[in-house]
């Protein structure tokens, strides 16, 4: 989570734009900024779904606007100037098939906002995704030339990859920050439905059936439930993001992950442990529609992040799951402290 460092003094006097600021990682960034004394924040996010607004109930920010005309207003100067722009608003559905929608929302909007940020002197930080790596077994962020060799497995990953390629080809990577978020989990993602993290839907399954369902493996080199992901607690993702934003010598595309892959079986056992229950795992067939697009292994190489000076320890996986389940999901609290009951 955010902690004081040599740049902490900049936040209380900074004006910040957070697109997607009512969403999962976006609202967590606002929470992190608040903890560092920053409240002069403009959130840009659609007002619906209404459930998403619960994420902002206990946060402190200056204003909230719909993103529809944001670019034109920013370009015309009516939004004023920003010291930092965190662009976290996007379609995050890995099953979305409307490629034109993804292109407009995840690439073109991001490209145009980056151009405006650079023209106005704002520090620009945008969300990419580990989905851009596709089936690659080496997830190395050190050389941007490697971008051309990546082949995302779904339209969502491709739309994010388009932005990464554009930033490199335009020569922007010495001035902005792109973040390849791995499998981030935590509170504030209830509104995401089927796109919620494994911790969320695992807890829901335990409540409903007493068991957690995991996909069987379709590959001989992986046992059922032994497919691996680099799971990252959102509090760690916030700390990494704010560190890179505030250290202007840290530019380029960075992996944002734990650096340690864990199996789905480990995740399920961690959820059961947080609940004080004996694990019960059922393995189900993987849908044919995703079999050829399924990532069996993701693990962030975070050497570049560490080389940039980020030295904070990363929350132990089991401890992160426990904190998420016990302190947020079970009592129904958002990261800012709002509960479902008090949110109405």
Catalytic residue list: 156, 192
Alpha helices in the chain (DSSP H): 24-35, 70-76, 99-102, 109-120, 155-169, 198-209, 234-246, 264-275, 288-291, 303-307, 317-324
Place of tokens 């960034």: 29
8 A C-beta contact, residue 88 and residue 23:
yes
> 307: which residues sit within 8 A by CB, 6+ positions away?
none
Q: CA 94 to CA 100: how far, in whole Å?
A: 15
Indicate the pairing of strand 16-19 with strand 41-44.
parallel
Q: How far apart are CA 101 and CA 330, in angstroms?
A: 35
What are residue 16's DSSP bridge partners?
41, 84
Confirm if 225 and 262 have CB atoms less than 8 A apart. no
Q: What is the DSSP string of 2-13?
A: ----TTGGGGGG
């Amino acid at each position: 989570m955010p902690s004081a460092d040599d740049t902490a003094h900049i936040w209380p006097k900074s004006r910040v734009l957070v697109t997607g600021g009512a969403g999962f990682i976006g609202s967590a960034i606002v929470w992190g900024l608040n903890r560092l004394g920053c409240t002069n924040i403009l959130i840009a996010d659609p007002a619906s779904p209404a459930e998403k607004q619960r994420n902002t109930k206990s946060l402190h920010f200056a204003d909230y606007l719909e993103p529809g005309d944001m670019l034109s207003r920013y370009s015309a100067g009516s939004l004023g100037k920003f010291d930092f722009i965190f662009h976290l608003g996007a379609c995050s559905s890995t099953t979305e098939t409307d490629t034109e929608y993804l292109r407009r929302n995840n690439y073109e909007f991001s490209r145009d906002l980056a151009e405006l940020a650079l023209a106005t002197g704002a520090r620009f930080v945008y969300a990419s995704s580990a989905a851009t790596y596709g089936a690659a077994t080496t997830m190395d962020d050190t050389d941007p030339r490697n971008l051309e060799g990546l082949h995302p497995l779904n339209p969502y990953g491709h739309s994010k990859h388009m932005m990464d390629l554009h930033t490199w080809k335009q020569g922007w990577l010495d001035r902005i920050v792109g973040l390849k978020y791995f499998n981030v989990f935590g509170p504030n993602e209830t509104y995401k439905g089927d796109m919620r993290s494994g911790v969320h839907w695992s807890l829901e399954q335990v409540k409903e059936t007493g068991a957690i369902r995991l996909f069987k493996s379709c590959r001989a080199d992986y046992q059922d439930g032994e497919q691996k992901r680099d799971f990252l607690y959102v509090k760690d993702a916030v700390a990494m993001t704010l560190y890179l934003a505030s250290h202007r010598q840290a530019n380029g595309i960075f992996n944002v992950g734990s650096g340690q892959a864990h199996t789905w079986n480990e995740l399920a056992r961690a959820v059961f442990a947080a609940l004080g229950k004996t694990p019960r795992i059922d393995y189900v067939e993987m849908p044919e529609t995703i079999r050829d697009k399924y990532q069996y292994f993701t693990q962030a190489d975070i050497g570049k992040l560490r080389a940039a000076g980020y030295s904070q320890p990363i929350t132990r996986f089991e401890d992160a799951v426990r904190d998420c389940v016990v302190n947020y999901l079970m009592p129904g609290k958002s990261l800012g402290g709002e509960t479902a009951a008090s949110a109405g």
